[in-house]
Amino acid sequence: MDATLIVWILTALLCVGLLTQAYWEPRLRRRFGGVPLVWYLIGFPVTVCRIRFTWRRLCQNTDLAVVRRPRYTMVGRDVMVRGVALRPIPPRLGVPKINRLGCGLSVRVRLHPGQTPAQFIAATEAIVHAWRVHSVRVISPERGEVLIVAVARDPLVVDQARRMYPAPRFMAAVVGRTGDSSAWVIDLRKIPHWLVVGATQSGKSTLLAALVTHLGAQPVALVGIDCKGGMEFSLFAKRLSALATNRAEALGLLKAMITEAEARMAVCRAAGVRSVWGLDDDERPVPIVVLVDEIAELYLAGATLAGRKEAVECSTALLRLAQLGAALGIHLVVAAQRFGSELGPGATALRAQLGGRICHRVNDEASAEMALGDLSPDAIAVAQAITEDEKGVAVTTIGGHWVRARSMLLTPDNVRQYAARNAHRTPELPHLAAALEAGGESHE
Ligand SMILES: Nc1ncnc2c1ncn2[C@@H]1O[C@H](COP(=O)(O)OP(=O)(O)O)[C@@H](O)[C@H]1O
Ligand SMILES: [Mg+2]
């Protein structure tokens, strides 16, 4: 055949291949939750073969295989021989299943009697190398079994939001991914108040923007306090029911929120329920999430007496709101560079109320300790190890354990668009807007 013809045919085949790939790849990604095709077709089968072929040796080398026969035997009547059995039996391996979120897989392992999950946790480093995956986590969902979850690639690479993940529950939002490639969910029903700590440029405001963008699609009122002149929150101002941009406005807003909380308390008392969640759907007041960026601005006393008084009032109001709010559908999400006793005694008391903790990159150990120390001491070292290049990476606690996670990166345009799209969902809270205005006037 003519050589030119062959070149033409090969070029045509290549073009068809590329077009087919371009057509199918996004569809398959959508169908299979963002897992790249190459992991389905090549990575997963190869890793499964590797797991099968290395399992026996891996278990022998990490002491996970056990021998059924005793380590000694009698020779004749008087001689006992000790030794190691030649073929120890590895624990039974289940069928590996592909992980729907990112490149990964999970496999169940049946424990031998006498084995504990701790032995498998101790062997995770060896498993990572034997299976050639990025990381491995061992959990024990059922007695007598462990589940090994392996992630093939680092899931904490920058994840530019191309689509919004649906909220798993009302008042919950998927704000990024965790280190084992599962969804990072902030669930305000489980933990009502959150503290986000991190140095400047570590990703705090981006995380708040992701949270607002997701909660914005739900019937929730969002209220912002951004005392840096509203620079960060102006992006999604359309979806906010009220936005305070200086301390006087913030104080007015907080006082109005406390009045609102007291009114809700009266409603709950009249209905004989312990929280707004016990009320019927049509009676329940709309949940309010108060977002505070750079909270130190509220606490810094300033030189004047009036400034000092205002700071103390703000601190008291925030603390009261946190104490009352949890049961009344009023939630606080607070971002700070540091959040300790240097801001005043009110800050430490407020921190104790903020049960959810997220710690981005920090400049000193004390800041990490403020965020995570009272929940999980081991997490402090992990938070300190976050580098400057890992923007948006944070350590948070989920179910009593710490995990590394990265928020999804939303561009300012994305945030603005989603806020405009959800603007019609913004509940009208006229008394908050009025309090804001009154606060603003007293400032002038
Ligand atoms: N999850 C993320 N992935 C990648 N880059 C991020 C992420 N979160 C934040 N960034 C980048 O980090 C920079 C600082 O983020 P920002 O949220 O303003 O930090 P902070 O509020 O802590 O000062 C931004 O320019 C943003 O692009
Ligand atoms: Mg910021």
Question: Is the minimum distance from the CB of 202 to ligand 1 under 6 angstroms?
Answer: yes
Q: What is the mean pLDDT of the segment spanning 176-194?
A: 89
Report the predicted TM-score, pTM, of the whole model to 2 decimal places.
0.79
Q: For residues 103 and 133, what is the distance between their CA atoms, to the nearest angstrom?
A: 10
How would residue 40 be classed by pLDDT, with cut points 50, 70 and 90?
confident
Any atom of ligand 1 within 6 Å of the Cβ of 284: no
- Report whether pLDDT(291) > 90: yes
Q: How many CB atoms lie within 10 A of CB 305?
A: 9
Q: Residue 329: which of 168, 171, 167 has the closest Cα?
A: 171
Mean pLDDT of 313-332: 92
pLDDT greater at residue 108 or residue 371: 108
Mean pLDDT for the stretch of residues 335-342: 86
Pocket test for ligand 1, best of 154, 297, 391 (most atoms within 8 A of CB): 391
pLDDT tens, residue by residue, 401-424: 788 999 999 889 989 999 999 999
162 pLDDT above the threshold of 70? no
Q: Which numbered atom of ligand 1 lies nearest the CA of 206?
A: 17
Q: Is the pLDDT of residue 103 over 90?
A: no
Q: For all residues of the chain together, what is the average pLDDT? A: 87
Amino acid in position 13: L
Is 201's C-beta closer than 6 angstroms to any atom of ligand 1?
yes
Burial 229-256 (b: 16+ CB within 10 A, else e): ebebbbbbbbbbbbbbbbbbbbbbbbbb
pLDDT of residue 28: 62
SS3 of 163-229: CCCCCCCCCEEEEEEECCCCEEEEECCCCCCEEEECCCCCCHHHHHHHHHHHHCCCCCEEEEEECCC
Residue 390 Cβ contacting ligand 1 at under 6 Å: no
Least confident of 110-124, 288-302, 308-322, 368-382: 368-382
Largest CA distance in the chain: 102
The minimum-distance atom of ligand 1 relative to the CA of 159 is: 3
Ligand 1 atom at shortest distance from the alpha carbon of 293: 21
Q: Which residue has the CA at smallest separation from atom 14 of ligand 1?
A: 201
406 lines ligand 1 (CB under 6 A): yes
**Average pLDDT for residues 38-45, to the nearest whole number?**
84
Q: 414 in ligand 1 pocket by Cβ < 6 Å?
A: no
Looking at residue 389, the DSSP 8-state letter turns out to be T
Taking Cα atoms as reference points, which of 291, 239, 243 lies closest to residue 416? 239
Under 8 Å between Cβ of 308 and 263: no
Asked if the model's pLDDT at residue 36 lies above 80, the reply is no
Does 96 contact ligand 1 (Cβ within 6 A)?
A: no
CA distance linking residue 39 with residue 54, whole number of Å: 20
All domains in the chain, ordered by first residue: 32-66+87-151 (3.30.980), 172-443 (3.40.50.300)
C-alpha of residue 201 to centroid of ligand 1, in Å:
6
**pLDDT value at 400 more than 80:** no
Average pLDDT over residues 368-397: 86
The rounded Å distance from CA 308 to ligand 2 centre is 24
Tell me what pLDDT residue 54 has.
95
Q: How many CB atoms lie within 10 A of CB 274?
A: 9
Cα 417 to the center of its chain, rounded Å: 23
Q: Who has greater pLDDT, 398 or 185?
A: 185
Strand 330-336 relative to strand 288-293, pairing: parallel
Q: Ramachandran region of residue 183, left (φ > 0), alpha (ψ -120 to 50) or beta?
A: beta
Q: Whose CA is nearest to atom 8 of ligand 1?
A: 392
Distance, CA 391 to ligand 1 centroid (Å)?
Answer: 5
The per-residue pLDDT for 440 is: 59
204 C-beta closer than 6 A to ligand 1: yes
Residue type, 361: R
Ligand 1 centroid – CA 367 distance (Å): 18
For helices 412-421 and 204-215, angle between their N-to-C axes, nearest 10 degrees: 20
Verify whether ligand 1 is closer than 6 Å to residue 367 (CB atom): no
Look at the chain and count its residues.
444
- The two tokens of residue 252 are 């007015």
Q: For residue 30, what pLDDT is reported?
A: 60
Atom of ligand 1 nearest to the CA of 408: 1
pLDDT of 444 strictly over 60: no
> What spatial distance separates the first Cα and last Cα of the chain, rounded to whole Å?
88
CA atoms within 13 A on the CB side of 361: 15
DSSP, collapsed to helix, strand or coil, labels residue 272 as coil
Token duo for residue 149: 């979850």
